Structure 1
Amino acid sequence: MPAADLKSKRPHPLHRSNGFVVLTPSLLTMGANHVISRLIGYDPKPGKPFPLDKLFYKQELIEVKSEINRTIKSGQPKIKLKAELLYNGGSKSLCSYSVYPLFKSTRIVTGVILCFEKIQKQIHLPKTAEFHQSFKNIIGKSEKMQRLFTMLPDIAESDANVLICGESGTGKDLFAETIHTHSLRSKGPYIAVNCATFAESLIESELFGHEKSAFTGADRLKVGRFEMAGAGTIFLDEIGELKPELQVKLLRVLDQRKFERVGGTKPVLMEARIISATNKNLTEAITDKSFREDFYYRLRTVSLNLPPLREKKEDIPLLVNHFIKLFNKKYNKEIRSVDTKVMRFFQQYHFPGNVRELEQAMEHAYVFAKGPVIFLSSLPDFKEFNMAKPEPEPETIPKEIFFTAKKPDKEAILHALSLSNGKRQKAADLLSISRTSLWRLIKKLDLE
């Protein structure tokens, strides 16, 4: 596309920009200046996909792409958005960036200019910076979770139907809401429906709505969940519980993108994106004829398989830390850690209830914990864990001990010294402070 054919809706402040890149609507490179080339480590070739993933962290990449797509659709610029840029070689910088539309005529957007301004001093990143332990509110450093984090930006950016599979308590609803929040539909409603909670006679009315007098007791028109979702997202949880008769009706809605209210004849357009979830093995359900194969393939344009907690136990320390921060705020407490015996128990337990069961165990402990450390005595009764009470074992010090960044008090210091058998360097490591700081605190609190 000749540069002379490109006309912007308003002047682009390239003279004030530290860097800029010109992109097509499909994010192909049309041109970039030397600042951008230096940032990504090479000169991007015109007509080739521009490597946005070399400029932004994955957590921010989807938001940047969303802003670009909104500008392409609306023709309106996005001014002075905040982001962290990645530098070639492992460093980052804070910047302000803007997205400006380019027009070939008064109506058609033919590309965008991405301008980067006020690029601040580079900050060195450790090598582990590329290793993400969360995607927004979803926590995990295991290989299986990292694979999911890699997939999420592309899934959210697309408009494909998504089927999320996983055992109860693995966070299927959290993944669904995260996909919606970071999609182009994020400004629209997010409607969640648990298909297992409604009686068979009511679920059709809940999903599609009903006209006045459609059945006994229908004294007014009711808008269904599909209609409520509008151009947003509808999340159908426990989709495997639907009877084959309703599966047929939903399949027709997915194919035709329209439906009728119960008792009505006027078609209603279905504009929402469908995300569904199940804890059932739908392949087996197809074999035993309780789930329709054609419906299955319409739901799972893209599928996500969430691992159970027992298959990603390296994530347990991160999750415990997360719940400590969460419940400290909720219960106005200052718990700093879990005892090593508690962590050992969590690592040994198979968690049939997955992350939800771990969360409930931690919240139970918060109700009864009296000091800065959670002990086994604060957990639910071992009968509730479907596991015998663990036998006493020699005390070991795991790599992850969960003291927060707050200044440790006398009880926390004594606990750390006890765990480390009086070895101050190990105690300091557990408290996340230097040995010198620990020595000063011991002197100040008269713990010699």
Structure 2
Amino acid sequence: MGVDRIPDNIQEGSGDFDGFPEGDGVLILSTEKKIMSANLQAERLLRIKLPKGENFFLDQIINDQYREKAVSALNSALEGGHSHANLAGKTIAGFPASLTYSIEPLHDNNRIIGAVLTFRETVPSAPGPSKQVRLIEYDTLFEHLAEGVFTINNRWRITSFNQRAQEITGFKSEEVLGRFCWDIFQSDLCHTNCPLKLTMETGIIRMDQDVRILVKGGKKQSILVNTSVMKNKRGLLIGAIETFRPVVEMDLSHEDHRNAASSRPEIIGQSPALLKLLGMLPDVAASDVNVIIEGESGTGKELIARSIHSQSPRSSGPFIPVNCAALAETLLESELFGHVKGAFTGAVNTRAGRFELAKGGTLFLDEIAEIRPEIQVKLLRVLEARVFERVGGARPISMDARIIAATNRDLEHEVKEGRFREDLFYRLRTVPLSLPPLRERIQDIPILVAHFVSTFNKKYQKNVRGVDTKVLNMFKRYAWPGNLRELERALEYAFVFVKGPIITVSHLPELKARPVAPKIGLEDQSTPSLWEDEKITIKKALDKAQGRRDDASRFLGISRTSLWRKMKTHGLI
């Protein structure tokens, strides 16, 4: 074991290092281990002047206990392009300081041109885990945040760049550390109205600023940016931090979202459940059999009925919709079959019913389960005999219309309960079609959002480009009891309040307090979302805490009760 020594060109305590700014030290070396750049924080931590162009000897900085590993890591980065994180060490010069540092190779066109060393002071504290251990934990959580995060120093050079930032931009951390932020992001605001610059100059936090950057490869990407300054314990500015998340840009042309299986442009989606249903429609439309469409309220049952009609031989005839639940029981019979003059009080004229009006076309009976039993009997007779009489009349009238019925109830259950006639049920149910709820069509949500954004842009004369990823993730988690109708209303609500090009969570009505959607199949479980990110982060914290919830909640910065509630929500207990 060698003897710790101080380099000849360093005098212990030389320089007013304590007056230098606190924070992370950054040192950039060439492949020849010459100093290319260094910040004042690095000089403060290493207790050594770091002039540009001078040779740097790591083995003369780190003490004997950690020296061999430090030199090996630096050589590995410069010669083999390997990264090394969370290394421990102690300085020799001045009062020995404990450090945690990382070494990342610096690349240019796939060629190693140097290395970036970042240093952070670690001071043991008691009780509880040491500061170094806590910093490692924070680094782990920092790397797994759902948003991209990077920091800059006073010289506008990037000092940290987390994993999510790498995923969004396409740049590896070793490609950006030590470089100017504008060289990496090349945003439309970098040289005019940069949010980070405004925050550095004024100290004002910027929230959800819409910025367009160029990701690696030159493709444009919209992001929402939050910025804040970083200060040391003395209140001196040492840099700034920016968090960002991608904006979901909508394809508002709709050309790629139209289903070849449907001639109705309003039926939008590519989920397997919907495509299976739409694939049946041409064959169903070609026949003249009765159809019943089952599905929750707001799923688009009338759209399916209209699609069947438009593809059928009766497409040139009328499509007559009747909402059986919207009509008073005393009027429903007259509305369906018509009435003759004087049939009842107020019948001052003879009037044709919906069955007559639908001649040569399609009669759509929505909410069929709501009609009372005596009307069910008459409807059954019409379906069987294909004739009917007007209320108060005796002349039989031929029925020349296709019947499509719809309900949001379980008709089989209604039959068992005696509320719906079994013979009518089977007469209507020649071809049953089941329309999936929106919570089972998670992958269709981005397409539907794009459709509604395009629709409301035209209606409200706005130019909304898309939605925040938080909005899309919230939509994917939400159960949508009102299905498509509720999604449409939520976005129209947002259009009332949105002023810029991006819809954020703040523009939406209250959805988050309602039930969340259950997982539906493997495809939904693999959908990336903040929901999954939170679950993964909680599991990592629990693993590191070896299952101790007190420690895990402390790592996450939340109360033990909040952790328990989140674990229960994510099915972790």
Aligning the two structures, in what range does the TM-score lie when normalised by the shorter sequence? Answer: 0.5 to 0.7
Supply the distance in 2 between the matched residues of 1:164 and 1:394 (Cα, whole angstroms): 33
What is the identity, as a one-letter code, of the residue corresponding to 2:402? R
Cα distance change, pair 129–203 in 1 and its aligned pair in 2 (3 A): closer
Cα distance change, pair 393–313 in 1 and its aligned pair in 2 (3 A): closer
Equivalent position to 2:383, from 229, 244, 254: 254
**Superimposed CA distance per residue, residues 153-183 of structure 1 (whole angstroms, 9 cap, x where no aligned partner):** 1111111111000000000011011111111
Cα distance change, pair 337–211 in 1 and its aligned pair in 2 (3 A): same
Say whether 1:217 aligns with 2:335: no
Structure 2 regions of 5+ residues with no counterpart?
Answer: 1-255, 518-528, 534-573
Supply the distance in 1 between the matched residues of 2:258 and 2:453 (Cα, whole angstroms): 25
Give the match for residue 366 of structure 1.
495
Aligned ranges 1:319-334 → 2 under 5 Å: 319-334=448-463
Say whether 1:185 aligns with 2:314: yes
What is the identity, as a one-letter code, of the residue corresponding to 1:361? A
Give the match for residue 370 of structure 2.
241
Supply the distance in 2 between the matched residues of 1:134 and 1:185 (Cα, whole angstroms): 16
Give the match for residue 229 of structure 1.
358
What is the identity, as a one-letter code, of the residue corresponding to 1:252? R
Supply the distance in 1 between the matched residues of 2:259 and 2:411 (Cα, whole angstroms): 33
Give the match for residue 424 of structure 2.
295
How big is the shift at 1:130?
A: 12
How big is the shift at 1:374?
A: 0.4
Give the match for residue 146 of structure 2.
none
Matched position secondary structure for 1:304 = strand
How big is the shift at 1:197?
A: 0.8
Percent sequence identity over matched residues?
Answer: 58
Supply the distance in 2 between the matched residues of 1:255 and 1:142 (Cα, whole angstroms): 37
Contact 2:299-2:438 within 8 A present in 1 as well: yes
**Superimposed CA distance per residue, residues 281-304 of structure 1 (whole angstroms, 9 cap, x where no aligned partner):** 000011011111110111111111
Supply the distance in 2 between the matched residues of 1:364 and 1:129 (Cα, whole angstroms): 24
Give the match for residue 13 of structure 1.
none
Say whether 1:165 aligns with 2:294: yes
Contact 2:257-2:447 within 8 A present in 1 as well: no
Equivalent position to 1:306, from 435, 457, 473: 435
Cα distance change, pair 130–289 in 1 and its aligned pair in 2 (3 A): closer
How big is the shift at 1:131?
A: 8.2
Say whether 1:279 aligns with 2:408: yes
What is the identity, as a one-letter code, of the residue corresponding to 2:336? L
User: TM-score with structure 1 length normalisation?
Assistant: 0.57
How big is the shift at 1:376?
A: 0.7
Supply the distance in 1 between the matched residues of 2:315 and 2:261 (Cα, whole angstroms): 24
Say whether 1:142 aligns with 2:289: no
**Superimposed CA distance per residue, residues 380-437 of structure 1 (whole angstroms, 9 cap, x where no aligned partner):** 134785679xxx96998xxxxxxxxxxxxxxxxxxxxxxxxxxxxxxxxxxxxxxxxx
Supply the distance in 1 between the matched residues of 2:269 and 2:321 (Cα, whole angstroms): 24
Give the match for residue 326 of structure 2.
197
**Superimposed CA distance per residue, residues 305-354 of structure 1 (whole angstroms, 9 cap, x where no aligned partner):** 00011111111111111111111111111111000110010011010111
Aligned ranges 1:41-440 → 2 under 5 Å: 136=264, 137-382=266-511, 385=514
Supply the distance in 2 between the matched residues of 1:297 and 1:171 (Cα, whole angstroms): 23
Supply the distance in 2 between the matched residues of 1:271 and 1:238 (Cα, whole angstroms): 22
Contact 1:309-1:355 within 8 A present in 2 as well: yes
What is the identity, as a one-letter code, of the residue corresponding to 1:322? H
Q: How many residues align?
A: 266
Cα distance change, pair 209–370 in 1 and its aligned pair in 2 (3 A): same
Supply the distance in 2 between the matched residues of 1:384 and 1:217 (Cα, whole angstroms): 49
Supply the distance in 2 between the matched residues of 1:213 and 1:180 (Cα, whole angstroms): 35
Supply the distance in 2 between the matched residues of 1:364 and 1:332 (Cα, whole angstroms): 15
Q: Which is worse superposed, 311-320 or 133-142? A: 133-142
Q: Which has the higher contact order (CA 8 A, sep 6+)?
A: 1
Larger radius of gyration: 2
Matched position secondary structure for 2:488 = helix
Supply the distance in 2 between the matched residues of 1:395 and 1:236 (Cα, whole angstroms): 42
Matched position secondary structure for 2:405 = strand
Supply the distance in 2 between the matched residues of 1:134 and 1:229 (Cα, whole angstroms): 23
